Amino acid sequence: MPMDDYQAIVVRNPDHRVVALYGDLDAASMPALEAELFCQLTESDLPLVVSLDGVAFCDTGCLRSLLQAARHADAVGCRIAFCCRLEDLLRVLRDGRITHHLGIWPTIEEAVRAVLRP
């Protein structure tokens, strides 16, 4: 898979789900990204972790999509957390001033612990 091709891999566990995102999050991938996240938030109230570690690029439209997913999760009562270790992407998230709206953890394991906490 070329790195710029968007892909979402979903792993379902008994007590949570993980969506690992790969490739470029841009105007071309935004409809698929939004559809995947909103599908996950609609089909189950199990906590959701979104891994951004495979993301090569993220534009402002997709930043809004991530923020909208977090807000939708709150509205439907689904716990959501994001994980990211990529400094370049973390800088984009900080520059977009949305890090304080998203629970961002350095690893999937830490994000899972965060969403499973009572």
Confidence (pTM): 0.92
The CATH superfamily holding the domain 7-116 is: STAS domain (3.30.750.24)
Residue type, 79: R
* SS3 (DSSP) at 15: coil
Question: What pLDDT score was predicted for residue 1?
Answer: 47
Separation of alpha carbons 48 and 73, rounded Å: 9
Count other C-beta atoms under 10 Å from residue 65's C-beta: 21
Among 47, 102, 94, CA closest to 70: 102
pLDDT in tens, the chain (118 residues): 455 689 999 999 999 999 999 999 999 999 999 999 999 999 999 999 999 999 999 998 999 999 999 999 999 999 999 999 999 999 888 887 888 889 899 999 999 999 999 8
Question: What pLDDT score was predicted for residue 101?
Answer: 85
Separation of alpha carbons 28 and 23, rounded Å: 11
Instruction: Give domain limits for the chain.
Output: 7-116
